[in-house]
Structure 1
């Protein structure tokens, strides 16, 4: 979907149409969750501090998020997807992979299917979507971002090699900011540069991700569209109105975060064995700590005790602007844990 949260707000409130809109908190401590394309022209992006966003775009209009409304529209869109194929793998609330090798409508091509899906979304929600079509997930994802907004881009098999060779490395799906910087440092700027590196070298430089980078440089991505993706974690975080300077005050906020996380775990019925603590300092430096136990973490008191132990391991080097905690590492069906005993 194109600028999904902001587009929903513009659709529901015609006064916002054509204006620079940011969904998120507009105060000194706020963060942009989503920005309309009118705002993006001024460099306003998601995760940008609201103060910075207002400096770039003084006439920016902030709107508080309405997550229940976004979920409602998302359900409409996902329902449309399922009219064409059962192989739908949601990536987020506003994005999904669709395998249309076989489709329920009997349409003759993937392009025809994408055009019809875009038309239906526009007709039923009033919103625009961008579609990417290609032979695998990696290329389809890149294609979906290529002609936004309201775009449709096809990377045909005969185009794959030349397209990847010319593609800037920062536009590669699965290559983040930190990895991009590391690749730039060793002379990898485009797909053709990545393709020159051996599997051994990429594995040495990037660990287990090296094989992925080696393959995508050659247009290889054998991952199937999985309609039954399993949730990997549940988390919560809060950016404070005022920086917190003492560990005592931070522990009080940790209790609030633990209560919120516990509610989310019960709602999602998620159970995991690893608890993680995230702290972001006022200078935006971020640190995380985690701990794994042998059993599933479900109780409020245990979450609080474990997160406090992680917090106690830290020496605060600056005032804290953000605190987050999460649970991950779900047990697999029929998994057996090796117990240990003291003799």
Structure 2
């Protein structure tokens, strides 16, 4: 029996260098210049990382998540701007409202990318390509920004396609072209295969997607566990996930990178109190209770650790977060200086508003 999802057409819309593009739109005099959005570089002594950068900056080797000090060394003459998340979210909402109307089902997955299922109204790739061009034109005309779009039989292929010809690209993968398009690509083009996994695969004489697709899946399972099955399916262009209208909130977290490394227990406690306030405020606003508290710790030498503890019952108590976080932190106190600390909550449960009202009444 055929799976209807395989016959549907999926679009992945990905805004081009979103933060920096918005900044250039707001300040046209920056057009054509290397623009870096992120932490203050402080003439090469700053802490933190690059959030995103313009394509002109990428020509110097700068990329997102790079230490801002490294970016400054590569291009000290770039325009360095702070992150203006309020502005980016406003622009994102306008863009998502604009492209949502073109989809039968719509799934926003980040501030600058979304999936569109257009299978009900459009059943051929010529029409889907015309629709993608229409979306690109509308986003450029109404928002003054470019996006890249992938058109394909499923989500994983559409995402790979949208990244294939950036910026301002449009790449179409028809079902009959999946293998010829996908197999020559390096395995790192599959989302989720990072540097460590790529190096392991290279040791297994697996460098291209085609190599991975033709491997004995049992060998992959032996090395990667259940993830090996998923990797093998994706390499063969198989992705049965559907475009979902709403992405479930799975965690709420925040973190802070310090201008100077900290080690004093009192200072650490103060940081956790501040981070917990932010997490709890978001938790309350979104009407969730939590079961698990997590912390993230990064030492001055960039060693990074996470720890988590699950409570016996779901809670909304801010003090439970701070007590658990500080308890988890005991393992690391006195073992070095910290450049980053983070707090989060997971295993979220939506609060039943009706039950809350009954409890308030009685």
Q: TM-score, normalised on structure 2?
A: 0.88
Q: Do structure 1's residue 23 and structure 2's residue 41 form an aligned pair? A: no
8 A Cα contact 1:107 1:113, kept in partner = no
Question: How large is the RMSD of aligned CA atoms in angstroms?
Answer: 1.9
Pick one of 235, 245, 251 that aligns with 2:263.
245
Match of 2:106 in 1: 88
Match of 1:337 in 2: none
Counterpart-to-counterpart distance in 1, 2:295 and 2:163: 32
- Structure 2 matches for 1:95-244, cutoff 5 A? 95-103=113-121, 109-244=127-262
Cα deviation for residue 155 of structure 1 reads 1.1
Cα deviation for residue 333 of structure 1 reads 9.7
Counterpart-to-counterpart distance in 2, 1:76 and 1:10: 17
8 A Cα contact 2:109 2:247, kept in partner = no
Counterpart-to-counterpart distance in 2, 1:61 and 1:297: 45
Higher RCO, 1 vs 2 (CA within 8 Å, ≥6 residues apart): 2
Match of 1:280 in 2: 298
- Once the two structures are overlaid, the 10-residue window that deviates more, 3-12 or 202-211, is 202-211
Q: Secondary structure at 1:158's aligned position in 2?
A: helix
Evaluate the alpha carbon distance shift between residue 333 and residue 29 of structure 1 in structure 2; reply closer, same or farther with a 3 A threshold.
closer
Name the count of aligned residue pairs: 333
Q: Secondary structure at 1:84's aligned position in 2?
A: coil
Counterpart-to-counterpart distance in 2, 1:84 and 1:55: 44
Unaligned runs of 5+ in 2: 1-14, 353-362
Cα deviation for residue 85 of structure 1 reads 1.4
Q: Secondary structure at 1:167's aligned position in 2?
A: coil
C-alpha distance after superposition, 1:244-266 (max 9, x if no partner): 12333212211111111111212
Counterpart-to-counterpart distance in 2, 1:211 and 1:271: 33
Counterpart-to-counterpart distance in 2, 1:96 and 1:259: 30
- Once the two structures are overlaid, the 10-residue window that deviates more, 75-84 or 92-101, is 75-84
Counterpart-to-counterpart distance in 2, 1:158 and 1:333: 47
Cα deviation for residue 114 of structure 1 reads 0.5
Q: Secondary structure at 1:166's aligned position in 2?
A: coil
Cα deviation for residue 79 of structure 1 reads 1.1
- Structure 2 matches for 1:298-313, cutoff 5 A? 298-313=316-331
Counterpart-to-counterpart distance in 2, 1:253 and 1:70: 27
- Once the two structures are overlaid, the 10-residue window that deviates more, 95-104 or 285-294, is 95-104
Unaligned runs of 5+ in 1: 335-343
- Once the two structures are overlaid, the 10-residue window that deviates more, 165-174 or 195-204, is 195-204
Cα deviation for residue 140 of structure 1 reads 0.4
C-alpha distance after superposition, 1:102-124 (max 9, x if no partner): 249x9961111110000000011
8 A Cα contact 2:20 2:36, kept in partner = yes
8 A Cα contact 1:84 1:103, kept in partner = no
Counterpart-to-counterpart distance in 2, 1:221 and 1:319: 44
Q: Secondary structure at 2:183's aligned position in 1?
A: helix
Q: Do structure 1's residue 50 and structure 2's residue 68 form an aligned pair? A: yes
Match of 2:54 in 1: 36
Match of 1:61 in 2: 79
Q: Secondary structure at 1:130's aligned position in 2?
A: strand
Cα deviation for residue 197 of structure 1 reads 2.0
Cα deviation for residue 144 of structure 1 reads 0.2
Q: Do structure 1's residue 8 and structure 2's residue 11 form an aligned pair? A: no
Cα deviation for residue 267 of structure 1 reads 2.2
8 A Cα contact 2:288 2:350, kept in partner = no
Match of 2:286 in 1: 268
Q: Secondary structure at 1:271's aligned position in 2?
A: strand
Pick one of 332, 336, 346 that aligns with 1:314.
332
